[in-house]
Amino acid sequence: MAPQGIAEAALAGLRQELTGTAVAPGDQGYDDARAVFNGMLDRRPAVVAQCETEADVARAIRFGRDNELEIAVRGGGHSVAGMSSTDGGIVVDLGRMHTVIVDPASRAARVGGGATMSHLDRATQPYGLATTGGRASTTGVGGFTLGGGSGWLERKCGLACDNLIAAELVTADGETVHASADENSELFWALHGGGGNFGVVTAITLQLHSLPAMSMVMLLFRPEAGPEVVRAFRDFMESAPDEAGGGCIYLTGAPEPFVPEHLVGKLVCAALVTYTGTEAEARQVTEPLLGLGHDAEVISELPYAELQCMLDDPPGMRNYWSAEYLDSFPDEGVDAFCSRADTMPVPTGTQHVLFPMGGAVARSEADYPLPWRTAQWAVHPFGIWEDPADDVRGIQWVRDVRAAVRPWSQGTVYLNFIGDEGRGRVLAGFGEDNYKRLAAVKAKYDPSNVFRRNHNIKPLR
Ligand code: FAD
């Protein structure tokens, strides 16, 4: 039966015209098709169009418009705000369009609009090549890159969007448009942070980098050592080479062989350094941290694709995330950051993270709409829990972290790291001048704001 608002014949027509599959309520697999990463969001679309080709994407958009349905676009389904689903609308699901073609000669990869990090990393690894990817293997490359793209390699290789060479889009009118530095250059500029506002990206081409070796140094400490560890990590990163990335992370000690019994199920402070080089080099560089008196360590060289899976969480947990981007991080800031760890609900999936910025992220001279890239530090509390009864406490904790570090905040924010926090935060994500310029691009490619399930840029009137 066709869902309310869609004529039976129209749905039958869509089913027939798609190379992929249209899944509607009552169909087998509907619940799987509508599920997104954040278990807090339980939306029921009228139809999920599981697209396999560019023509499918154009057909699904047309179907949405003809039937006056809200259109959501889904890559990897990781939007914490749940932007890739809709109640009663159509989901243009790109998940089957995940082909990655690597050209080792030009060190570039053509990546399908629905590919995940694991599709990308597994395709590039055999060539000893990689590019900046998200820190979870199941994140969609599309949503990640179009929003900016922050990952372990960023201080060496730049943000993911800095590595964007070209994109292919289907616009709200169903037209195919190519964007690169030489073709539709204003649109190309807008795709460096402007997210899914301008069309459905069916493929992107990314610059790859040689990555002969990847290493990690992870040191675990009791939470009492946190302030000393975070200070030492801050001082270390301030003069660290671009090869070093990582973060300081408060989390619950997992029942893993490398976690000592006294830390399992307890709050742990971890100092993590990722290093684009050998284990011996990583040990040498991190010498100032190795003498801090840690309770446990993991120091090893490992395939990049394996590192990328290290923080993978199961889908379906309840997620509430936010972030603040800091201009400076004095001792008082460290104390404010660490004191919020003491109030973190434990045991939990929640993580309280400090990411170093700088390196190639800050050095870029590109004028892309990403004002937060000049920040020194990012504080990223991500609340993850299972029981709806913990919602109020979990959400409040994330908000309290933001409030605690706000005195040092730059006032900007990376929108991929936050949920739906209102219009002011979207403006903070781009800056006022960039927003106006993005709105002009939006007016050209999506004047009716068909693609509005995102950190939305309203078309310039
Ligand atoms: P979706 O939910 O499918 O889409 C998110 C948004 O992007 C939607 O508005 C959608 O319309 C749009 N979109 C997606 N694909 C396309 C496309 N092909 N064409 C047009 N629009 C599209 N971010 C980081 O920068 N670094 C990290 O390390 C990182 N780690 C993460 C780990 C986890 C577990 C999760 C849940 C998120 C993480 N993120 C990270 C955030 C992530 O980058 C964003 O949530 C991103 O939008 C996810 O992309 P997606 O395709 O998976 O999401």
pLDDT digits (tens, 9 = 90+) for 257-283: 999 999 999 999 999 999 999 999 999
- Name the nearest CA neighbour of 151 among 163, 133, 164: 133
Calculate the alpha carbon distances from 362 to 276, 413, 425 in Å: 18, 15, 21
pLDDT at 391: 95
pLDDT for 1 beyond 60: no
pLDDT at 4: 66
Q: Is 173 exposed, middle or buried (0-12, 13-18, 19+ CB in 10 A)?
A: middle
Domain 215-417 in CATH 3.40.462.20? The answer is yes
Candidate CATH numbers 2.40.30.10, 3.40.50.1110, 3.40.50.300, 3.30.465.10; the one for domain 100-210? 3.30.465.10
pTM for the predicted model, two decimal places: 0.97
Residues 33 and 22: their CA atoms lie apart, in Å, by: 10
Residue spans of the domains in the chain: they are 8-93, 100-210, 215-417
Per-residue pLDDT, averaged over 449-459, amounts to: 98
Among the residue ranges 7-11, 101-105, 134-138, the one predicted with the least confidence is 7-11
- The model's confidence at residue 347, banded by pLDDT at 50, 70 and 90, is confident
140: Cβ below 6 Å to ligand 1? yes
Q: Each residue of 165-224: pLDDT tens digit?
A: 999 999 999 999 999 999 999 999 999 999 999 999 999 999 999 999 999 999 999 999
pLDDT for 2 beyond 70: no
pLDDT for 128 beyond 60: yes
Give the residue, out of 139, 171, 351, 361, with the most ligand 1 atoms within 8 A of its beta carbon, to mutate for a pocket test. 139
Rounded distance from Cα 224 to ligand 1 centre (Å)? 35
Backbone phi and psi for residue 252, each to the nearest 5 degrees, phi listed first: -85, 130
pLDDT for 408 beyond 90: yes
Q: What residue's CA is closest to ligand 1, atom 35?
A: 78
Q: Each residue of 10-34: pLDDT tens digit?
A: 999 999 999 999 999 999 999 999 9
Among the residue ranges 29-38, 72-81, 309-318, the one predicted with the least confidence is 309-318
Candidate CATH numbers 3.40.1190.20, 3.40.225.10, 3.40.30.10, 3.30.43.10; the one for domain 8-93? 3.30.43.10
85: Cβ below 6 Å to ligand 1? no
Rounded distance from Cα 391 to ligand 1 centre (Å)? 22
Q: Which atom of ligand 1 is nearest to the CA of 82?
A: 2
- Tell me, what DSSP letter sits at residue 321? E
Rounded distance from Cα 167 to ligand 1 centre (Å)? 16
Residues of the chain with pLDDT > 90, as a percent, come to 95
Q: Each residue of 132-156: pLDDT tens digit?
A: 999 999 999 999 999 999 999 999 9
Contact partners, residue 59, CB within 8 Å, separation at least 6: 14, 17, 18, 49, 174
